Amino acid sequence: MSILNILRYPDPRLHKIAQPVTAFDARLAKLVADMADTMYEAPGVGLAATQVDVHERVVVIDISEDKSQLIAFINPEIIWSSEERTVYDEGCLSVPGVYDGVERPSKVKVRAFDVKGEQFELEADGLLAVCIQHEMDHLVGKVFVEYLSPLKRNRIKTRMMKEERGIAREKALREQGRRI
Active site residues: 135
Q: Are 101 and 14 in contact (CB under 8 A)?
A: no
| Alpha carbon distance 126, 148 (integer Å) | 21
| Alpha carbon distance 80, 1 (integer Å) | 35
The full DSSP string for 153-166 is HHHHHHHHHHHHHH
For residue 13, what are the CA distances in angstroms to 139, 144, 151?
11, 15, 22
Burial 144-157 (b: 16+ CB within 10 A, else e): bbebbeeeebeebe
| Alpha carbon distance 143, 173 (integer Å) | 31
Q: Are 39 and 32 in contact (CB under 8 A)?
A: no
Residue 138 annotated in ligand binding: yes
Residue 55 annotated in ligand binding: no
Q: Let me know if 54 is exposed, middle or buried by CB neighbors in 10 A (0-12, 13-18, 19+).
A: middle
> What residue numbers does the annotated binding site cover?
92, 134, 138
> What residue numbers does the annotated binding site for Fe cation cover?
92, 134, 138
